[in-house]
Structure 1
Amino acid sequence: MWGIELRFKDEISLSRQIFLTLKERIVTGQISQREALPSTRELAKGLGISRNTVCEAYDMLLTEGFIISRQGAPSRVAEGLHIHTYKKADMPAETRSDSPPILWDFKTGQPDLSLFPWSLWSQMIRDAAICLPVQELEYNGPKGYQPLCEEISQWLFRSRGMEVHPEDIFITSGAMQALHLLVDLLYKEGQVFAIEDPSHPGIRTVIADKGYPLHTMQVDEQGADISSLEGKAVSAVYVTPSHQFPLGGILPAGRRAALIRLAIEHDFYIIEDDYDSEFRYIGPPVSPIYSMDSSHVIYVGTFSKTVFPALRLGFAVLPKPLQARWKHYRNFMDVQNPVLEQAALAEFLRKRKMDKHVQHMRQVYSDKRKILLSSIENAFGNSVRPWGDASGLHVALQFPGMEFEKQFVRDSTEAGIRVYPLTQFCPAQDNHKDKLLIGYGHLSQTQIQEGVRALHQFLKKNDLAAGEAKLL
């Protein structure tokens, strides 16, 4: 009746179903303005339901102004409500993909979540919910949960030798939120943001979407070429000096010092993204640029690799002159992060569970790295050269004389292998065409061995393993 089809087992009440159906038919013009609706008694009888249910639906329509009602007269549709003409939606045809599933996904930046101490984390979340004072559940401002800031300060000292005051630490929803805030915070009219080439597409996209000018610094095996900044009017410089993403180089002290001198001389800030330096397998941890000069360096960290990506907790260490504006920007973005997760992470750090977990995972990833490198050597011999394999959860592989482009990605995906050409991380996509990025942190040792063999067989099958130059 009146196009109303009731679903008696639905979670939505019958009265709301009637309201939503009549509302939709009014807005789409199927029920004309000033048209009289059936009486509540008549509609209830036609639908086989109680009159009270229909009365509730009519009350909703009346409250929101879709109908008008007068004593002794039928309820009528109000005027001026027709928005668009009704068109029955085409039901999507059932589709099925004949493509084989992805058997080996060498995605980057993905930790092994199977080894995280989930039961311990769940207990810490429960304890936070029980023990947090009521005032901590109120709006607490944009800085973050203070006990977490204090524990991060201690964690940075233990893991990186950084001396950071808790008051300079600001909690974020991961590193990307920090970068969004910093780009707006640091932009100077007409002056460029300098980033590495190649670099993570996230920072490039943030800057480009805001319409800010961009300058790229070419990257070699030692990181960014700082000399290209000479003579540039710079808003800020973004670098990954401890483990350049994606090539893996370590920015040497000479380049770091030159970058700091430029920042001081021309009054700009350096954004240091330290995204995975906890996992270093050769030699001692690399000191951050922040340790050389904290006045012109903004240190950005994240717990996505050390804890788990969905936690969405990171932090920025801000120089004093930026803190008031940061608080203003953050206040009108989302105010603060969820406090339960912050409290649980603070306890995870305080009880040194983070230290223990990172130490364990460093050994796990070191073993996986060895398996990856030996599998590459067994499959490809000396024809493939690894880049940046001393740290992190990925390695860049150089295949001299070869070029990997979009068709290669499509073909390898069809073969059940997902790999990532380095050109995806280059602004102009015309450099490093002979390199693939291979992530291995989330894969088992068996998956790594099988995946490398599958990649070799795929390249060999497509006449790409012989080292001949070929456009794809």
Structure 2
Amino acid sequence: MWKIQWQDKKELSLARQIFLSLRERILAGQLAAGERMPSTRELAGSLGVSRNTVCEAYDMLLAEGFTVSRQGAPTRIARDVCLDYKPDGVATAPVKPEAGTPVWDFATGRPDITLFPWKLWNKMLGEAAGQLPPGQWGYTSPQGYELLCGEIACWLLRSRGMLVKPADIFITAGATQAFYLLVGLLHKTGAPFVLENPSHPAMYTVITDRGYPVQWLEVDEQGAIVETLTESAVSAVYVTPSHQFPLGGILPAGRRAALIRLARDNDFYIIEDDYDGEFRYAGPAISPLYSLDASHVIYVGTFSKTLFPALRLGFVILPKPLQEKWRHYRKYMDVQNPVLEQAALTAFLRTRAMDKHIRRMRRSYGEKRSCFLQAVQEHFADSVCPWGDASGLHVALQFPGAEFGERFVEESRAAGLGIRPVNRLYPSLHEQHRDKLLLGYGHLNAGQIQEGMSALRRLMERGDYGYVTRGS
């Protein structure tokens, strides 16, 4: 019973190994509460170690409360320290295996990180580590690395035509942290946050997890239908005007002006999420909503799609009245981002490596987009309508007459396809947009796109989803 499988680790003493072995048995219920422990001499003889070694192990058990001892009485197991005791004959519930990775994963929001210039990036990380002054390795401003804010302002001018002061830029750990902070910053008691319907589930989750109310803006081919905003008292309005997520519409000038007028008249802020505006394949980048009214629009940007998701760097452009409160919130959330990555990104922007990388990725994604649309045409002809294909890394495909529900999700997963119906982005299933699937292609190669579309065609042919496949 008392045998111990010794570990060949010099850093782990024999006494510590005895303690860990006995503790494991106590926690598992193999040594019951009140059970007498063998004497130190008896256990030492059984294990072939010195008595002092066993005494040291017993002292550890006693110090942490796993055993109790009185002078002249044997050491016993303490009460209420068992974690995993299960009576004999009681079967444990089987662990449900996790769903396997899809063979053809059309997940959205995934850039092709194989094309990122890793060698250059690692060089810039090394140079930043050697050049940063000592003061930057301590606690700094919740705003972020000052030089990075300046380079982001220059980048926004080059890529978007935006005139932004570096002092108004605040670095975040990606866009999700920006949303989390903004929801706390902008909430008004009893006033809902207004979201596009459908929209990215992250913003909805951040709001509803805090118990705040939500009102919906309906969406069509051109983005949010501003006229469906019926509340005058709102906490804030969240929109994706340059490439509506997930349907891909570009908010026209008339709707932009109407939304800004509402914000001015009713004293609320608009949160503009520009999550993939760099990748536009027909014409120049769309001008941000922020350019029309910097006093009522909060611009949120991220480098997760342009560089790589693990970088966890994004930014917000904040109107002056919100900046002091933002600093307070950020200070007591996590103070600041790691400075090394900020310094490397500063160099990446300053040397125009970012510009070169974006041009390269735009060409690559443009080729993948063409391959994707060609595969759609090949397998479904003109019976499927793409939405939002002019920019970004995903497309919404409309299958007229189809209804994609939970059964489609299960059957597509069984077929090796990672595809999400658009209506799963809603807080509950709605009738609208039930005929659309959301497919990301940025991280896939041409072969994966073709094979995945072929697998989707086979699934649609044998599945009863209300859509009759046609095409060559």
Q: Please, what TM-score do these two structures have when normalized by structure 2?
A: 0.90
**Structure 1 counterpart of 2:447, one-letter code:** T
**Number of paired residues?**
464
1:372 equivalent in structure 2:
372
State whether structure 2 residue 289 is matched by structure 1 residue 289: yes
Contact 2:32/2:77, CA 8 A, preserved across alignment? no
1:95/1:270 Cα in 2 relative to 1: closer, same or farther (>3 Å)? closer
Task: Report the alpha carbon displacement of residue 393 of structure 1 after superposing the two structures with TM.
Answer: 0.1
For residues 39-81 of structure 1, the C-alpha deviation after alignment (integer angstroms, 9 at most, x for no partner) is 54443332233455434433433443545678x7577458665
- 1:101-116 equivalences under 5 Å are 102-116=102-116
**Structure 2 counterpart of 1:449, one-letter code:** Q
1:177/1:85 Cα in 2 relative to 1: closer, same or farther (>3 Å)? closer
1:302 equivalent in structure 2:
302
1:460 equivalent in structure 2:
461
CA RMSD of aligned residues (A): 2.7
What SS class does the counterpart of residue 256 from structure 1 fall into?
helix
2:187 equivalent in structure 1:
187
1:331/1:55 Cα in 2 relative to 1: closer, same or farther (>3 Å)? farther
Contact 1:26/1:81, CA 8 A, preserved across alignment? no
Comparing 143-152 with 304-313, greater Cα deviation is found at 143-152
CA distance in 1, matches of 2:254, 2:168: 27
What SS class does the counterpart of residue 396 from structure 2 fall into?
strand
Comparing 150-159 with 384-393, greater Cα deviation is found at 150-159
State whether structure 2 residue 161 is matched by structure 1 residue 161: yes
- 1:168-183 equivalences under 5 Å are 168-183=168-183
1:392 equivalent in structure 2:
392
Comparing 453-462 with 197-206, greater Cα deviation is found at 453-462
2:443 equivalent in structure 1:
442
1:86 equivalent in structure 2:
85
Task: Report the alpha carbon displacement of residue 122 of structure 1 after superposing the two structures with TM.
Answer: 1.7
Task: Report the alpha carbon displacement of residue 230 of structure 1 after superposing the two structures with TM.
Answer: 3.8
- 1:44-443 equivalences under 5 Å are 44-51=44-51, 53-67=53-67, 76=75, 82=81, 86-87=85-86, 102-430=102-430, 431-443=432-444
CA distance in 2, matches of 1:348, 1:5: 55
What SS class does the counterpart of residue 372 from structure 2 fall into?
helix
Task: Report the alpha carbon displacement of residue 462 of structure 1 after superposing the two structures with TM.
Answer: 3.0
**Structure 1 counterpart of 2:452, one-letter code:** G
1:9 equivalent in structure 2:
8
What SS class does the counterpart of residue 191 from structure 1 fall into?
coil
For residues 159-187 of structure 1, the C-alpha deviation after alignment (integer angstroms, 9 at most, x for no partner) is 11112222221111111111111111111
Comparing 452-461 with 43-52, greater Cα deviation is found at 43-52
Contact 1:39/1:74, CA 8 A, preserved across alignment? no
Contact 2:37/2:77, CA 8 A, preserved across alignment? no
CA distance in 2, matches of 1:148, 1:15: 52
**Structure 2 counterpart of 1:289, one-letter code:** L
1:465/1:7 Cα in 2 relative to 1: closer, same or farther (>3 Å)? farther
CA distance in 2, matches of 1:90, 1:352: 62
Unaligned ranges ≥5, structure 2: none
Contact 2:128/2:344, CA 8 A, preserved across alignment? yes
Contact 1:459/1:465, CA 8 A, preserved across alignment? no
CA distance in 2, matches of 1:331, 1:62: 42
What SS class does the counterpart of residue 234 from structure 1 fall into?
coil
CA distance in 1, matches of 2:119, 2:434: 44
1:94/1:192 Cα in 2 relative to 1: closer, same or farther (>3 Å)? closer
1:21/1:461 Cα in 2 relative to 1: closer, same or farther (>3 Å)? same
Contact 1:395/1:437, CA 8 A, preserved across alignment? yes
Task: Report the alpha carbon displacement of residue 248 of structure 1 after superposing the two structures with TM.
Answer: 0.3
**Structure 2 counterpart of 1:456, one-letter code:** R
Task: Report the alpha carbon displacement of residue 386 of structure 1 after superposing the two structures with TM.
Answer: 0.6
For residues 426-471 of structure 1, the C-alpha deviation after alignment (integer angstroms, 9 at most, x for no partner) is 2332120111111100010121122212212321233669638xxx
Task: Report the alpha carbon displacement of residue 27 of structure 1 after superposing the two structures with TM.
Answer: 5.9
Task: Report the alpha carbon displacement of residue 24 of structure 1 after superposing the two structures with TM.
Answer: 4.8
1:19/1:136 Cα in 2 relative to 1: closer, same or farther (>3 Å)? farther
Comparing 445-454 with 369-378, greater Cα deviation is found at 445-454
1:226/1:338 Cα in 2 relative to 1: closer, same or farther (>3 Å)? same
1:403/1:233 Cα in 2 relative to 1: closer, same or farther (>3 Å)? same
For residues 84-140 of structure 1, the C-alpha deviation after alignment (integer angstroms, 9 at most, x for no partner) is 57337978869889x986321111111111111112122222222333223222222
CA distance in 2, matches of 1:85, 1:384: 55
Contact 1:28/1:82, CA 8 A, preserved across alignment? no
Task: Report the alpha carbon displacement of residue 285 of structure 1 after superposing the two structures with TM.
Answer: 0.6
What SS class does the counterpart of residue 219 from structure 1 fall into?
strand
**Structure 2 counterpart of 1:195, one-letter code:** L
Comparing 239-248 with 220-229, greater Cα deviation is found at 220-229
CA distance in 1, matches of 2:418, 2:279: 24
**Structure 2 counterpart of 1:412, one-letter code:** S
For residues 355-407 of structure 1, the C-alpha deviation after alignment (integer angstroms, 9 at most, x for no partner) is 11111000000011111111211221110111100110001111111111111
CA distance in 1, matches of 2:62, 2:407: 59
Contact 2:401/2:467, CA 8 A, preserved across alignment? no
Contact 1:397/1:436, CA 8 A, preserved across alignment? yes
CA distance in 2, matches of 1:372, 1:185: 41
Contact 1:238/1:270, CA 8 A, preserved across alignment? yes
1:404/1:465 Cα in 2 relative to 1: closer, same or farther (>3 Å)? closer
CA distance in 1, matches of 2:429, 2:177: 26
**Structure 2 counterpart of 1:319, one-letter code:** P
Q: Please, what TM-score do these two structures have when normalized by structure 1?
A: 0.90
State whether structure 2 residue 22 is matched by structure 1 residue 22: yes
CA distance in 1, matches of 2:342, 2:440: 28
